[in-house]
Amino acid sequence: MSLEKPPAILQPLISAEDLALRVSELGKEISEYYQDKDLILMGVLKGSFIFMADLSRSIRVNHACEFIRVSSYHKKQSSGTVTLDFEMTQSIEGKHVLLVEDIVDTGQTLLFLKKHLMGKNPASLRICTLLYKQEMNPHIQRELHWVGFEIPKLFVVGYGMDYEGLYRHLPFIGTL
Ligand code: IMP
Ligand code: MG
């Protein structure tokens, strides 16, 4: 991977402070909802790894952390086909699963994962996404139980999200 062609300019969109604040609010709501339930957070790699780490630490009920990996993006475009790259390592049967996503754009990934996870008979499946892009299909929007921020239809990076593998480490979210 090379840094020789950095994309234009990075415009900040959501600051590290605003991210921290919102993640702790989400953690509080999620903790209330899952009191006394057997909870598994299911992070979608790679994009959700930083959000997942912060969200997990803001949740005040016991929970396990699992990861699954899918891919669909090539550069800034969804390829339309979602592929399962690697699978979770524990059974979710009878458990309450909270899917943790970085961003929902077309909703393809979400629909794929929902079908995949429901096939494993969890007690429940809910979805938490840090970001969702406006003007999204209303049918997809109804699938989301917790949303961090609504953003314009722009390509964003940082706080786990990448462009061609780069910029995941940025503590804030910006647009290219
Ligand atoms: P969808 O299937 O179109 O909803 O795309 C979902 C996945 O594509 C997300 O989980 C991200 O990993 C990636 N993605 C979508 N939009 C962006 C973006 O603006 N920046 C970085 N990754 C994105
Ligand atoms: Mg993702």
Give tens-digit pLDDT for 77-132.
766 789 999 999 999 999 999 999 999 998 999 999 999 999 999 999 999 999 99
* Beta strand spans in 59-154 (E): 63-74, 77-86, 96-104, 124-133, 146-151
- How far is ligand 2, taken at its centre, from the CA of residue 81, in Å? 14
103 CA distance to ligand 2 middle (Å) = 6
- Give the ligand whose atoms come closest to the C-alpha of residue 151: 1
Tell me the per-residue pLDDT of 41-81, one tens digit each, with 9 for 90 and over. 999 999 999 999 999 999 999 999 999 999 986 666 766 78
Of 157, 130, 122, give the one whose Cα is nearest residue 146: 130
Q: Which helix or strand (DSSP H or E) is residue 126 part of?
A: strand 124-133
Helices (H), the chain: 16-33, 49-58, 108-118, 138-141
Evaluate if pTM is beyond 0.75: yes
Q: Is 38 a catalytic residue?
A: no
